[in-house]
Amino acid sequence: MGRLTAIILGAAAGGGFPQWNCFCPVCRLAWAGDPRVKPRTQASLAVSADGRHWVLLNASPDLRAQLQATPDLHPRELRESPIASIVLSGAEVDQTAGLLTLRERQPFTLCATAETLSAIAANPMFNVLAPDVVIRQTIATGKPFTLPGGISAELFTVPGKVPLYLEDEKPDLAREDGANVGIELSAGGGRLLYVPGATAVTPALAERLKRADIVFFDGTLFTDDEMIVTGTGTKSGRRMGHMPIDGEDGSLTALADVKARRIYIHINNTNPILIDGSPQRRKVETAGWGIAEDGMRIEL
């Protein structure tokens, strides 16, 4: 069994960067072609332990473009794909819409919690994934399972909420169940954790992150009121299901003791850490964090 290789297919939050209808200060730089910022598609990883079988972590709406940009995921025979499995951390649109790209009767296994698979099953559009070739595997949190290519995996609960389209008027923002999970993968002595959405870091989550070699963590907003201040939205970060990076209760402070390689992913288009050289970018880099970019390849 080889060591894990991870490719960042997309690094941005829902809507991508620049967002198609946004002219906020950060998007404005991207539309102008400013070299300090790089466009990013919506968040997803591809991971393999043998270089032949690849596992996708979430299927973003940008999946087709991401596959085209990633030679490791190109077909090698007449009708074939290196994608052997897809693991979902939730049922949000930016985590699942890319599944519709994979509707050409190509076998793979779709792994997710009962809550996430239930949300998918309730939308008949996903029936285009033929059940005789796409196997939907229900995964219980806290129970190890095996993925193709010799990868050991586990889903674990993370404080969060149900997808936006399933919210009621007062959603529980700190629930810990199968609606919002983190993904842990290990092979060849390396351990990778993917947590694209979290409203808080619990002691249990912090301890799990400390055991990792690399952590991809929710970097949606720099400050909790970022979208309110910029006039791009009316909700705080936590109301959207994402803890901020900065502040006394932000992830920079909460994860200061994590010694693993740490990379912010799922970065919103308003977040100034997208700007190379910005004070916010320098602050997170000084604290030892990396900033995810599309196409980054990491070998453990």
Domains of the chain, start order: 5-299 (3.60.15.10)
Is the pLDDT at 173 greater than 90? The verdict is no
Is the pLDDT at 171 greater than 90? The verdict is no
**Mean pLDDT, residues 159-164:** 92
% of residues, the chain, pLDDT over 70: 100
Cα(269)–Cα(266) distance, integer angstroms:
10
- Residues 66-78 have pLDDT tens digits of 999 999 999 999 9
Chain mean pLDDT for the chain = 96
Under 8 Å CB-to-CB from 236, ≥6 apart: which residues?
Answer: 224, 225, 227, 228
H-helix segments, 47-162 = 63-68, 93-96, 114-121
- Residues 105-131 have pLDDT tens digits of 999 999 999 999 999 999 999 999 999
Residue 207: pLDDT band (50, 70, 90) is very high
Considering only 114-128, 158-172, 213-227, which range has the smallest mean pLDDT? 158-172
**Mean pLDDT, residues 41-57:** 98
Indicate the burial class of 205 (C-beta count within 10 angstroms; 0-12, 13-18, 19 or more): buried
134-138/181-187 β-pairing: unpaired
pLDDT computed for residue 1 by the predictor: 58
Is the pLDDT at 48 greater than 70? The verdict is yes
- Residues 69-102 have pLDDT tens digits of 999 999 999 999 999 999 999 999 999 999 999 9
- Residues 178-194 have pLDDT tens digits of 999 999 999 999 999 99
